[in-house]
Amino acid sequence: MKTLFDSSGGGISASETQLHVGLLLWPRYSLLALSGLLEALRYATKAQKKKTFKISLLSEQPDNPITSSSGVSIRPDAAYVPPETFNYIATIGGELEYLSQGYPGDREYLAHAHHMNIPLIGIGTGSFVLAQEGFLNERRASIHPFHLERFRHAFPQVYAEQGYDFIDEGDVLTCPGGISTITLATELIRAHAGNEIAHSACQRLSLTAHETATPRPANIALIPDSRLRRAVMMIEQYLTRPLSTAGLASEVALSERQLNRLFHAEFGKTAREFIRSARLRYACWLLKNSQQSVTDIARRMGFSDCAHFIRHFQTEYGCTPGAWRTSQS
């Protein structure tokens, strides 16, 4: 089975079947986001016919129930366990005015997990928590439109965007919450257990595979071919991951040749050229808003070396990355 990520990249192998998520809830958390995550993993477990998809609710004070914004209270499963127990540590935020009321130990646990290289997930205003702790600095983040301007004002060092069900930066993922949480969960299932189990979970959730009701960025929503829309959305969601064109084509049920034809007809570029242009666009933001060196940005954007990055940047923008950065200062 072709995988979405290049084998050289550190993407999660689709052959892995164990998925264990540690979850931290903030006061007045979103019950919809929590139920979406729980239900998707529950249905995946049914499809797998063994309990391989699990969520453990953690807290500094496991005996104290945590109350959602709708008034429903849930008692955590346990106190903290070693972060390496989990594939991910996720946090679902609450109403913004309650973020400061979360347990300090939960923030320390997130920092410890981040230090241990366990990927973090910010769901809803959980992304505010990750940003407050500095885990989103100089990264892209998918933020709910209702909170976007406030987030951008509070965290100018984060490349905040709207319209994406999630954005995966490798060591940190963000999701705007709501029904987008279901899409994120099914993509995690897909990464760990393959398309068949993810598709089964989507069917049980009455979620059409590869499509959701979340509004899309205008430029993506206008793409007439649904397969191409899906491909572009995946490129944007996994922009810093080592995407494979073959894997991308497989995800949308096309051959590489067919996918390249669609990209060329719509954008005048092959899929690989489109990916490169999207990454160069992100590189522009990093050059302007971060102190990362050109070499570090080139590496982060997946270029084989700095010389390749400079050459492609100059072709795209008519100047070197250094000259572009100087012009923006």
pLDDT in tens, 81-131: 999 999 999 999 999 999 999 999 999 999 999 999 999 999 999 999 999
**What pLDDT score was predicted for residue 218?**
57
Q: How far is CA 326 from the centre of its chain?
A: 31
Q: Is the separation of the CB atoms in 42 and 35 below 8 Å?
A: no
Strand 140-142 relative to strand 159-161: parallel, antiparallel, unpaired? parallel
Q: Which residue has the higher pLDDT, 11 or 273?
A: 273
pLDDT of residue 168 exceeding 80? yes
How confident is residue 297, by pLDDT bands cut at 50, 70 and 90?
A: very high
**What pLDDT score was predicted for residue 191?**
86
Q: Is the separation of the CB atoms in 328 and 320 below 8 Å?
A: no
Between CA 79 and CA 57 the distance in angstroms is: 9
**What pLDDT score was predicted for residue 208?**
59
Q: What tokens appear for 69 in the block?
A: 């914004």
How confident is residue 72, by pLDDT bands cut at 50, 70 and 90?
A: very high
- Paired with 23 in beta bridges are 57, 90
* 3-class secondary structure, 327: helix
Q: What is the mean pLDDT of residues 204-211?
A: 64
* 3-class secondary structure, 177: coil
pLDDT of residue 2 exceeding 70? no
Burial class of residue 318 in the structure, from the number of CB atoms within 10 Å of its CB (0-12 exposed, 13-18 middle, 19+ buried): exposed
- pLDDT above 70 covers a percentage of the chain that reads 91
**What pLDDT score was predicted for residue 4?**
52
pLDDT of residue 210 exceeding 50? no
Q: Is the separation of the CB atoms in 91 and 110 below 8 Å?
A: yes
User: Hey, how many other C-beta atoms are within 10 angstroms of the C-beta on 288?
Assistant: 12
Q: Taking CA 118 as the corner, what is the angle to CA 231 and CA 17, rounded to the nearest 5 degrees?
A: 65
Q: Is the separation of the CB atoms in 151 and 128 below 8 Å?
A: yes
User: What's the chain's average pLDDT?
Assistant: 88
pLDDT of residue 14 exceeding 60? no
Sequential DSSP letters for 192-237 = HH-HHHHHHHHHHTT--TT--SSPPPHHHHT-S-HHHHHHHHHHHH
**What pLDDT score was predicted for residue 16?**
44
Strand 73-74 relative to strand 66-67: parallel, antiparallel, unpaired? antiparallel
Place of tokens 């982060």: 300
User: Hey, how many other C-beta atoms are within 10 angstroms of the C-beta on 161?
Assistant: 17
Q: What tokens appear for 306 in the block?
A: 């700095």
Closest C-alpha to 125, from 139, 141, 108:
141
pLDDT of residue 205 exceeding 90? no
